[in-house]
A = this chain, B = another copy of it.
């Protein structure tokens, strides 16, 4: 089992970084997890940020299947998410991409095999990463038949 989490930028809030690392540690019991974080764009113009970061993403992801976290994507519940992970992981690997502070280009959206929305509400880049690893951990517990620790 191999899961890769790709994102430009850093996790900004210390408390989120602690939580993110905590879930990565827990996930190591279930799968080989790798985190690929690109340098974020230094431009102050949101448009240029999106453009520069998306170019790097397209180059890195070239020819690979990936799921993009996108507020305008499709919503699924936790059980559907665990079924999705189970199905995908049996094939090869799963790559999740979380866009930078200002999101990603249309090109990245079009290249994504699946666009997943966690909520119609807008969360920060860092919060999205925390929710993603928590949901992957929850899915792994469901797949392995273990009770979730509330």
Contacts and interface: CB of A to CB of B under 8 A. Distances in A.
Interface of A: 12-16, 18-19, 22, 75-78, 81, 101-102, 118-125, 127, 131, 134-135, 138, 150
Contact of A125 (B118, B124, B135, B150): B150
Number of copies: 2
Contacts of A14: 18
A75 B120 contact: yes
A119 B138 CA distance: 15
Nearest to A116: B121
Nearest to A139: B121
A44 to B, nearest CB: 12
A117 to B, nearest CB: 9
Contacts of A118: 119, 121
A123 B134 contact: yes
Contacts of A15: 15-16, 18-19, 22
Nearest to A9: B150
Contact of A121 (B12, B77, B120, B127): B77
